[in-house]
Every structure is written in C-alpha cells, then in structure tokens.
Amino acid sequence: MKRLFAEGDVQRQVRRLAREISRDFAGREVLLVGILKGAFIFMADLARRVAFPVKMDFVRLASYGGGTESFGKVRITKDLETSLQGKDVLIVEDIIDTGVTLKYLFRRLKARRPRSLKSVVLLDKPSRRKVRFQPDYVGFTIEDHFVVGYGLDFNEEYRNLPGIYVLK
C-alpha cells in the first residue's frame, strides 16, 4: 500500500467541509444520511464538527454491474427509518466514482420531498464518472486509484486505517 492522505490531511479536510456545511446550514437542523458501510467513519467525524443540531440515519445500497464496475442496477437493501418530508437532508458518502449509485439515491430521496437535499463526499474520482452528478461538497479529488482506509475497504479489510491508501 502507498499512503495517499495521512490522518492529519483527512482531518483537515473534514474540518474544512464542516465549516462550509455549517455556514450553509446555519440555524437549521439537518438529517445526515450515511451510505453504509464506507461512509460511517467520515459521517461520525463530520457530525462531531458541524455547528448545528443533527439527526442521523443510514441507507445501504447494492449495485449490480459487471465485475468491479458499479454501473448496473442499483437497489436499496436498507432503507431510511426517518421521514424526509420538509427536512434539510445531507447525504454523506465516502467516495464517488461512476456517480450511478449517488445519482440513484439522490433521485429516490428527492421524491420523498425534503426541504433541501445536498451531498458531501470525502473522495471524488471524476475520471470514472458514467452519469452527470456533482456533489455539493468534496473533500479530495483523486485520480483513478483503488483506495482503502478511513471507512473504505477491500473485502471488508482496511476500513480502520486512519489515513487513505492506494491498494496495489
């Protein structure tokens, strides 16, 4: 493995994102919607740093495509337990590459009539985008590497690494 971002780099980006999000949602309560499993560490750190009250819920998605590609059919395997109607909602995701999964979730959640719906991703791989989707907040833009750590895994391993690493 090769280190891409040290723990301190990651935490600086989380603090920066928290400041931007806090400014944009000032005075409002926000529902953070984490995408399991990868976003749980990022969401926990972000939730502790924003300057407004939060509620949290989680969704889990499965996508079916060829091999390691995630541009097939997407379905929700664990749905939210919270109503979104009239709420300010922020989708929290670890990484966006093809954009298919996040665009699908955004469309599904928008249909539940939230007051506002935005997204934050820690890592963005725009070179892999298959559909048009631009997150509202981005921590790092990276090249097309397979990365692990800080919630990101390979076969359920490496999630607990405090930094982000390129898996060779």
Question: CA–CA separation, 4 vs 39, rounded Å?
Answer: 18
Angle at the Cα of 137 from the Cα atoms of 165 and 129, rounded to 5 degrees: 65
Answer yes or no: 97 catalytic: yes
Structure tokens that stand for 90 in this block: 């922020």
| Whole-angstrom distance, CA of residue 146 vs CA of residue 154 | 9
**Which candidate in 45, 88, 94, 97 is catalytic?**
97
DSSP class of residue 72 equals S
Q: Which residues are catalytic?
A: 97
